[in-house]
Amino acid sequence: MADDKTEGTRAEVIGPDSTKYVLSTGLTISGGPKGLKSLKSLHLGYTMIIDHDVKMIGTLCGENLVSLDLSGCTRLTPTGIQFLEKLCPKLECLYIYE
């Protein structure tokens, strides 16, 4: 298992009005002029994301995120779920089954 402290998310500007966020796994999340704040549902099931990625997703999308699928994300720990609890006040559906 990789160490959270050595992996992270980076942001790159990809146009005048958008930004691309690359998670530690190489998975990319892009946002337009409104950014990712308006995102309400996100499916990241069966990816290799780690706690740091979940924290970044909560920071970027958590304001309005209602549904998040993290099924089969075996590298997550309870710490990652705690980030969601703090950063995603509107989260109603969290899928975390294997």
Q: Where are the beta strands (DSSP E) in 1-98?
A: 10-15, 18-22, 28-31, 41-43, 67-69, 93-95
Contact status, residue 54 vs residue 79, Cβ threshold 8 Å: no
The two three-digit tokens of residue 3, written as one number: 């160490």
pLDDT at 5: 38
The model carries a pTM of 0.76
Residue 98 pLDDT > 80, yes or no? no
Tokens 């720990």: give the residue. 77
Residue 46 pLDDT > 70, yes or no? yes
* C-alpha torsion 54→55→60→61, nearest 10: 50
pLDDT in tens, 49-89: 999 999 989 988 888 999 999 999 999 999 999 999 999 99
